[in-house]
Structure 1
């Protein structure tokens, strides 16, 4: 056994050992929960260390064994997952102090980390499907940590339905590919595609895979559980939004050799990704609650990430995944600070940006991105993606009407452009990292994406200039366009669940089956 295999095995076994420790340690007065948390966090730190060693040794890998293949990207993400798991574990020890069921929480947290780690190293259909299913099973216990909160139970039920649908689609994708290739090995699948090309079975397999990822990544219309999961403890929200929900992006990057020749599957990714990014972005503009805005932001970002995969920009999708994980972990674990900062910002600026800056901002932002791409890495991405990034970062150049002096306008514009230049330079430098990913951009679909982002920016401009002009649209947007309500009614009609608490107006006790129409 090589040193890489030893490091990967130890880093994988640490979360499993943590889970067993939390479940099997007897409840004694001389071993309080705080001491158990210290032991668990020490094991989590050791798993992080061995993950780093495994990532450093990946270039020296000879061959995959036992359905596991530590790729460069998978090993980097394994380090990220173990880092987030360790931080969330330390945070949870303080956040849950005095709460009951902490041992089950530790075990479920360790189970999620172990299953995610296996998925990141998977090189076989069976390992991939089993690991992703185990992630959902372990996560159910975290989502239902407070069993008396009805919307937490509803979110867990809706996620369970989505997971089972995704499992069926993944099994169908695996069966079609396995029949065509003759083995479940993913490495063998890539070799078969390079040698024989795509067949009808592989095209259908790619479509089933994309639909499974759409369902598991909480894209519209099955996004509602990700919004309602705010009823779970804050560290669970951080784990879900920063880690678990991002797995769909990694799976698509892993299956890039299959997707790059499957135009129907990529078209589905473009449709679901762009639609989710635009609609969720519009909903987020009308929400006030910090955590709810963060949840809708995650939905929009997942749509954007799958959009990048559909366009063949896999390197950008990987960088987006890493950046989104770090940002959302920090955002949820410091949500109270975000509330204070938002209040101060609202007190400082009660007016929207100037109309002139709304029109000039995208031009300046696109010019800054194109300039940095020309200077740093001209071949990093197509020109239309520079325009998409410019539209996304244009609000950084919006001007505050309260600062009317020429000096204030110049300083504010320069600071916004410097932020855009810094972000673009960082993205371009990270793009050159040897992650073992090959981009295959689709230019026609890229132009469609640019039009969609331009439409979203146009709605944002109208909302800033004439807030009352879209009053009816704002009501629909605030309600999420009622997509989740329709999905919830259908889900509860097909798969009824015991989730509603005692309601005085219905006289229904907890645990009684409630019709979907009672809670739209």
Structure 2
């Protein structure tokens, strides 16, 4: 029974992207002439892909269970120089089925939304055609059994998305944002392809399951080729996740239709974190590459969080939020907390898809009555009580779920982050002009957040046993200082958020202007890109001729 269920899971995982590819390959003229029909077809196929993803998840869970893996290759051809084979197939493990169910759900919801959003548009059929091709490339990336197939799907996802970002090519802002993403994506593609070749030349296989088995025997310092490959994988993830200072394009792609923004921010941008998690057998042995990911993620998180507070556009604020969340996610992966990174990825995808698709009604939140504060700012005893209560709650929740800091010392850092977030909630309740019931309610919510966080971490950690390789703990001075820096950044962000409300006059105005403009980093990056890689006319082609 278990073998049959596993086979069904593998077959469903293969079928999900196939039906999307078949829909996307509808001839251009046919799609343009029958836009409404194409929209209905795309919606039905997207939900069918989600149903197949659920079958894949259920079959995997009912099979040998979490921790097992299976590969089904339909076609394979040997590559020269002993780098392994290029194969078209499916690799099913816990990471695959979780991500397949998540992304297919987001894709189905976005496609359903787009059916009404694009109704009557002259390019309706063209839009749904490229939406299907983009979704197909994403799902292919998730289920790929071969590193080279993964890299090709990675590139196809970016190229298909590029056509959606230029759906309104007459908009100059859309051209520039798409061009910057195009440049960064090509650099990321080159990094990933070189990493694939280096891995193949070192291990003599490109098959994921065989590669992971071979890497289990590797201990200590990586060979130079694999070390370089790990750094190139980190670079590809940083570029895909729009990390500082390569973040500008993700803030400026709002000229594309809203469904494209939702799919990008809730699905495609997460591919960088997925790459690191998928390649954990290589990344976990390369301490330097993981540490670089954590540092870049922390810097991005700090900058984007501050800039986000000054934005007046809802969608732009959400875009900065995405950059910050991607930084947080890569920081978790850089600390070796792959289960938390995957949990974060799932939560962020669901939240961000809803946030973008509901962005039109977000303004209603500003119409609600503002809460009244006692003195305008928390006093010293407020901070003391809030942090003491939050730390105690986080410690109780952590011990309740068996968190062992000696086994995963990085969990101390994430536990501190949870405590800081809970302290912020308690701090707001303490300074509000309300009765004790508000503080009790805030305390209950904070406790629920802490227990849910550590409980979900335990569940994901159990699910990913055998699917990811735990990172090696270096225990050096750099790791200690990095942990201190992470906690200091989160404490600093809360402190600055409260101090900023008390600053008045020209100083506040200057800070507001500089942060609103993203500290002008993207201006310099844009000038450099335009000088080195000018926009070509072909990138501004209209949908009718694309």
Which of 178, 195, 205 in structure 2 is aligned with 1:173? Answer: 195
Residue 19 to residue 156, structure 1, CA distance change in 2 (3 Å): same
Shift of 1:455: 2.7
What number of residue pairs does the alignment pair up?
A: 495
For the 8 Å contact 2:378–2:431, the answer to whether it is kept is no
Comparing 144-153 and 309-318, the one that deviates more: 144-153
1:24: Cα distance to partner?
A: 6.1
Answering whether residue 517 of structure 2 is matched by residue 479 of structure 1, we say yes
For each residue in 1:258-294, what CA deviation from the matched residue of structure 2 results, as whole angstroms up to 9, or x when unmatched? 1222111012112110000001111111112211111
Secondary structure of 1:69's counterpart equals: strand
Looking at structure 2, the residues matched to 151 and 435 of structure 1 have their Cα atoms a distance apart, in angstroms, of 42
Q: What CA distance in whole angstroms lies between the structure 2 residues aligned with 1:56 and 1:285?
A: 41
Q: 1:188 aligns with which of 206, 210, 221?
A: 210
- Root-mean-square deviation (Å): 2.5
> Does residue 76 of structure 1 match 2:81?
no
| Equivalent residue runs for 1:88-237 within 5 Å | 88-197=110-219, 198-237=222-261
Deviates more, 1:444-453 or 1:257-266: 444-453
Change (3 A) 1:194 1:152: same
Shift of 1:496: 1.0
State the secondary structure of the residue aligned to 2:446: helix
Cα shift at 1:498: 5.5
Q: Does residue 249 of structure 1 match 2:273?
A: yes
- Which shifted more, 230-239 or 458-467? 458-467
Q: Secondary structure at the match of 1:65?
A: strand
Aligned mates of 1:416, 1:471 — CA distance in 2: 33
Counterpart Cα distance in 1 of 2:373 and 2:280 = 45
Residues 269-348 of structure 1 aligned to structure 2 (within 5 Å): 269-344=293-368, 346=370
The structure-2 alpha-carbon separation of the partners of 1:365 and 1:342, relative to structure 1 and needing over 3 Å to count, comes to farther
In structure 2, the CA distance between the partners of 1:481 and 1:147, relative to structure 1 (3 Å rule), is same
The equivalent of 1:20 in structure 2 is: 25
Q: Does 1:85 align with 2:107?
A: yes
Distance change in 2, residues 1:332/1:26 (3 Å): closer
Of structures 1 and 2, the one scoring higher in RCO (CA 8 A, sep 6+) is 2
Gaps spanning 5+ residues in structure 2: where?
74-88, 542-546
Q: Which residue number corresponds to residue 514 of structure 1?
A: none
Q: Give the distance between the partners of 1:17 and 1:249, measured in 2 at CA.
A: 28
Task: Rate the CA distance shift 1:179–1:350 in 2: closer, same or farther, 3 A.
Answer: farther
Query: Shift of the alpha carbon at 1:490?
Result: 0.3
1:370·1:383 contact (CA, 8 Å) conserved in 2? no
Match of 1:415 among 417, 435, 441: 441
Q: Which moved more, 1:143-152 or 1:448-457?
A: 448-457
Return the offset for 1:250: 1.0
> CA 1:191–1:402 in structure 2 vs 1: closer, same or farther (change >3 Å)?
closer
Question: The residue matched to 1:399 in structure 2 has which SS?
Answer: helix
Q: Which position in structure 2 is the counterpart of 1:64?
A: 71
Pairing 1:49-60 to 2, within 5 Å after superposition: 49-58=51-60, 59-60=63-64
In the alignment, which of 497, 503, 506 is matched to residue 466 of structure 1? 503
Aligned residues of 1:315 and 1:438 also touching (Cα < 8 A): no
Contact 1:316 1:431 in 2 (8 A): yes
Q: Within 2, Cα distance between the matches of 1:348 and 1:292?
A: 28
TM-aligned CA deviation for residue 160 of structure 1: 0.3
- Does the CA-based 8 Å contact 1:287-1:478 persist in structure 2? yes
Unaligned runs of 5+ residues in structure 1 are: 500-509, 512-520
Q: Deviations over 1:348-399 (max 9, x none)?
A: 7899553454564344333322222222343486323211122234332233
3-state SS, counterpart of residue 195 of structure 1: coil
C-alpha change, 1:46 and 1:336, in structure 2 (3 Å) is: same
